[in-house]
């Protein structure tokens, strides 16, 4: 019994300790630790650089560290001498995260409401001479693929910027982009979900509203920025004094805030009022704050609440002019304690000037409780197609690519990820990834299956890595792939038949320097099976493509040549030394052409036979195996429509092919419409048929398959 009592007492003390911990205890910097109760569902509140999560009692907001939102950057604190302790900001401005490395560093936000929801997103910046350089930097801030703001604010104590955005994806990227001066940094980042019925613009997902100011025009507060616990959208309101203001003596409760904009009571309970019926409330933005961008457009949101109970029968009726034009179809009547928000149908170009005046039948002067000004940016580039984003993120995760610039949207205009090319995007058309170049980036493992989802991919370069395993057949299913470079890896096995067939016509395929890689079934048999490809002296495929491939729409032509590949058969009398190549070409004096293989020179043999010598360049992607394959194939192929191989050179790294010389120009010239003697279609067709049917001359087997 005594033992059981001791155990129960231990459990009691354990529960007491847990309870005390959950109630909270104060830590060194004055922040209060409590349980992670989400008092504001949907809010994302990040105190950048903070070492702990904490609850701010002044605002009733739970702040998180940024460790779950970004992987790069360094935490820092402003110097103690900096003036960063402002009301309503708590400790937000005391810490920051800086980004000395990389051009672009991005926070990834995933709000609960997902895409097509409207959000208020706010960023704070307080330099506080954290680095001791006493020089504030300049950098750009992006949201998704859109530039949100450019920072160059001198020595202000702090800077806040806000935007209203309706994303088309479930993920929002907020990126700091290095420009010319200094290191980008950020102090805090907040996201607040809004009602989709407010702050509406034409095509909201194709526009940004960037705040130029949110003004409490008759504020009773004396601080520059205020935020209120009853503001469900957690907006910041600027102090703006009025020479003549009125204050309501009634209690402004929830019933008085039934407008969808839901302004806080402190903002609504005071209003600016003109002197009398003859005077209006005039405002010109440029006369008070910095000049607005004259090339941009602006929306103004006017907030009204009648807080004076006028005598029976009297009404306050007002008109609103913006830049000299009446924005109302008819004057509005303000009703006691009934909030109204008025928004012009069209944006204002260049200037923000307005006048609120009493209508002719009004019994009271005009009033204004608050207003907001937003720069309107539209249309916007669209983000990268989600399928492409998921695919390239799969590639990034598979190969653990830690490139600092592989953050945010892959196809940001002028800031696309290193190694990527994208199609342009605008007016709802998503950008697509068209090229991936990861050559010499130390990739290991097999070729990632994620590449199969890049349906717009035209070029894929994975050369000179340490990729292993087989060449995946799914690469043949990419409908627009035209260039595939897998050379310089450790790939093994056979090349899928579908890829080889695609290389006959549309695919430029490079597989050199993969010692374990075989062509089709040659890994299992002693004979080398070489599909006829266009890279071998413009053989039959060139004719089939350029001279009448339309005749094969209902038939599939497969041409295979088989012969022994032992070393003895390769070393025939056709091998010549490089010194002889130089004599034949008069020291390479007469250049007559150039291609992907290398340069072609005119030469003459001792018996006065003219030849063309094709010399493999050092930069050519054609390797040893491909060179030997071409030599062996041309040794056995003879046809009146194909040039003959006279000899070859392979000495000291020099590789050359010696052909019979064709004096009447090349194939391109004979197919050009500018040539008076261009081959007619019946001539092209006859050549194609001759090349396809004279298989006895070649000594190979040909199969026609349905």
Q: Which of 317-321, 332-336, 484-488, 678-682 has the lowest mean pLDDT?
A: 678-682
Percent of the chain's residues with pLDDT above 90: 44
Q: Are 692 and 702 in contact (CB under 8 A)?
A: yes
Q: Classify the phi-psi angles of 40: left when phi > 0, otherwise alpha if psi is within -120 to 50, otherwise beta.
A: beta
* pLDDT value for 241: 76
Comparing 466 with 635, the larger pLDDT belongs to: 466
Determine whether domain 567-705 maps to CATH 3.30.2130.30.
no
Domain 44-194: CATH superfamily, name plus number = Galactose-binding lectin (2.60.120.430)
Going from N- to C-terminal start, the domains of the chain cover 44-194, 213-377, 421-525, 567-705
* pLDDT value for 503: 86
| Three-state secondary-structure class, residue 632 | helix
Q: Which of 31-45, 234-248, 672-686 has the lowest mean pLDDT?
A: 31-45
What is the residue-wise DSSP string for 269-280? TEEEE-SSTT--
Residue 524 has pLDDT above 70, yes or no: no
Comparing 640 with 5, the larger pLDDT belongs to: 640
* pLDDT value for 14: 38
pLDDT band at 158 (very low <50, low <70, confident <90, very high): confident
Question: Rounded to an integer, what distance in angstroms lies between the CA atom of residue 673 and that of residue 400?
Answer: 51
* pLDDT value for 300: 95
pLDDT tens digits along 535-558: 333 444 444 444 443 333 333 333
* pLDDT value for 225: 85
pLDDT tens digits along 555-571: 333 333 333 333 333 34
pLDDT band at 247 (very low <50, low <70, confident <90, very high): confident
pLDDT band at 653 (very low <50, low <70, confident <90, very high): low
pLDDT tens digits along 90-133: 789 999 999 999 889 999 999 999 999 999 999 999 998 999 88
Q: Which of 523-537, 564-578, 597-611, 633-647 has the lowest mean pLDDT?
A: 523-537
Where b means 16+ CB within 10 Å and e means fewer, 244-262 reads ebbebeeebeeebbebebb
CATH pick for 421-525 out of 3.10.580.10, 3.30.2320.20, 3.40.50.10070, 3.80.10.10: 3.80.10.10
Comparing 247 with 660, the larger pLDDT belongs to: 660
Strand partners, 239: 216
If you average pLDDT over residues 36-45, what whole number do you get? 75
Q: Which of 13-22, 34-43, 256-265 has the lowest mean pLDDT?
A: 13-22
Strand partners, 648: 575, 657
What is the residue-wise DSSP string for 45-70? EEETT-SS-EEETTTTEEEB-STTT-
If you average pLDDT over residues 687-700, what whole number do you get? 53
* pLDDT value for 648: 85
* pLDDT value for 41: 81
If you average pLDDT over residues 381-405, what whole number do you get? 90
Inter-CA distances, 346 with 261, 297, 324, 326, Å: 19, 9, 14, 12
Question: In which residue are the tokens 């539209």 written?
Answer: 378
* pLDDT value for 618: 58
* pLDDT value for 112: 94
pLDDT band at 39 (very low <50, low <70, confident <90, very high): low
pLDDT tens digits along 63-79: 999 999 999 999 999 98
If you average pLDDT over residues 515-543, what whole number do you get? 49
- Helix 540-548 and helix 497-505: axis angle, to 10°? 60
* pLDDT value for 593: 83
Mean pLDDT of the chain: 80
Residue 703 has pLDDT above 80, yes or no: no
DSSP state at residue 100: -
What is the residue-wise DSSP string for 500-541? HHHHHHT-EEE--S-TEEESTTTTTSSSEEEE--TTTTT-HH
* pLDDT value for 25: 40
Q: Which of 462-476, 560-574, 643-657 has the lowest mean pLDDT?
A: 560-574
pLDDT tens digits along 423-468: 986 556 789 999 999 999 999 999 999 999 999 999 999 999 999 9
pLDDT tens digits along 272-310: 999 899 999 999 887 776 667 888 999 999 999 999 999
Question: Rounded to an integer, what distance in angstroms lies between the CA atom of residue 326 and that of residue 665?
Answer: 75
Task: Dump strand ranges (E) for 27-132.
Answer: 44-47, 54-56, 61-63, 74-77, 95-98, 104-109, 119-125
What is the third-level CATH fold of 213-377?
Jelly Rolls (2.60.120)
Residue 650 has pLDDT above 60, yes or no: yes
* pLDDT value for 369: 93
Q: Are 27 and 52 in contact (CB under 8 A)?
A: yes
Q: Which of 109-123, 483-497, 640-654, 679-693 has the lowest mean pLDDT?
A: 679-693
Kindly tell me the burial class for residue 608, based on how many C-beta atoms sit within 10 Å of its own C-beta (0-12, 13-18, 19 or more).
exposed
Please check whether the two domains, 44-194 and 567-705, share a CATH topology: no
Comparing 209 with 157, the larger pLDDT belongs to: 209
């Amino acid at each position: 019994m005594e033992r059981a009592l001791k155990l129960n007492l231990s459990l009691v003390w354990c529960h007491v300790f847990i309870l005390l911990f959950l109630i909270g205890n104060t830590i060194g910097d004055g922040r209060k630790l409590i349980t992670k109760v989400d008092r504001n569902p949907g809010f994302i509140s990040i105190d950048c650089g903070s070492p702990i999560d904490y609850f701010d009692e002044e605002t009733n907001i739970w702040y998180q560290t940024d460790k779950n939102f970004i992987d790069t950057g360094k935490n820092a604190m402003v110097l103690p001498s900096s003036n960063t302790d402002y009301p309503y900001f708590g400790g937000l401005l005391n810490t920051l995260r800086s980004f000395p490395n990389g051009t672009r560093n991005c926070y990834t936000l995933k709000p609960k409401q997902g895409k097509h929801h409207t959000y208020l997103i706010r960023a704070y910046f307080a330099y506080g001479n954290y680095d001791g350089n006493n020089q504030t930097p300049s950098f750009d801030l992006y949201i998704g693929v859109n530039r949100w703001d450019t920072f160059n604010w001198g020595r202000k104590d702090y800077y806040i910027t806000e935007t209203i955005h309706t994303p088309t994806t479930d993920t929002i990227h907020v990126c700091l982009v290095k420009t010319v001066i200094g290191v980008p940094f950020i102090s805090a980042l907040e996201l607040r979900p809004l009602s989709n019925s407010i702050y509406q613009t034409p095509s909201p997902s194709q526009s940004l509203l960037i705040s130029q100011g949110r003004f409490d025009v008759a504020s009773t507060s004396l601080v520059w920025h205020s935020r209120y616990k009853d503001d469900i959208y957690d907006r910041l309101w600027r102090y703006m004094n009025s020479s003549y203001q009125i204050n309501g003596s009634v209690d402004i409760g929830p019933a008085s805030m039934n407008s969808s904009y839901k302004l806080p009571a402190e903002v609504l309970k005071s209003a600016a009022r003109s002197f009398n019926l003859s005077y209006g409330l005039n405002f010109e933005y440029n006369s008070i704050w910095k000049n607005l961008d004259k090339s941009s457009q602006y929306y103004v949101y006017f907030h009204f609440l009648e807080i004076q109970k006028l005598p029976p029968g009297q009404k306050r009726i007002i008109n609103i002019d913006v830049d000299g034009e009446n924005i109302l179809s008819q004057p509005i009547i303000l009703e006691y304690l009934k909030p109204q928000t008025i928004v012009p149908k069209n944006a204002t170009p260049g200037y923000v000037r307005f006048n609120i005046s009493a209508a002719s039948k009004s019994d009271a002067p005009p009033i204004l409780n608050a207003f907001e000004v937003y720069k309107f940016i539209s249309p916007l580039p669209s983000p990268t197609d989600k399928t492409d984003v998921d695919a390239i993120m799969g590639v990034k995760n598979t190969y653990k690519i830690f490139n600092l610039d592989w953050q945010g949207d892959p196809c940001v205009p002028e800031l696309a990820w290193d190694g990527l090319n994208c199609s342009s995007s605008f007016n709802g058309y998503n950008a697509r990834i068209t090229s991936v170049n990861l050559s010499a980036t130390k990739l290991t493992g097999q070729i990632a299956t994620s590449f199969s989802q890049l349906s717009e991919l035209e070029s894929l370069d994975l050369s000179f890595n340490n990729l292993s395993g087989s060449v995946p057949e799914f690469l043949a299913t990419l409908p627009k792939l035209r260039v595939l470079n897998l050379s310089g890896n450790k790939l093994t096995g056979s090349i899928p038949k579908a890829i080889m067939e695609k290389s006959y016509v549309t695919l430029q395929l490079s597989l050199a320097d993969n010692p374990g890689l075989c062509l089709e079934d040659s890994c299992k048999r002693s004979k080398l099976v070489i599909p006829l490809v266009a890279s071998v002296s413009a053989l039959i495929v060139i004719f089939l493509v350029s001279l009448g491939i339309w005749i094969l729409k209902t038939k599939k032509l497969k041409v295979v040549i088989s012969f022994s590949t032992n070393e003895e058969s390769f070393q025939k009398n056709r091998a010549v030394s490089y010194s002889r190549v130089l004599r034949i070409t008069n020291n390479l004096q007469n250049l007559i052409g150039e291609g992907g293989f290398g340069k072609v020179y005119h030469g003459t043999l001792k018996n006065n036979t003219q030849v063309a010598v094709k010399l493999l360049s050092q930069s050519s992607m054609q390797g040893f195996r491909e060179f030997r394959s071409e030599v062996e194939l041309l040794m056995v192929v003879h046809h009146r429509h194909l040039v003959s191989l006279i000899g070859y050179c392979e000495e000291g790294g020099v590789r050359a092919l010696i052909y019979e010389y064709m004096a009447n120009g090349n194939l391109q010239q004979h197919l050009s419409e500018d040539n008076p003697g261009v081959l007619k279609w019946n001539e092209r067709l006859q050549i194609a048929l001759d090349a396809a049917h004279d298989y006895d001359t070649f000594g190979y087997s040909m199969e026609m398959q349905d």
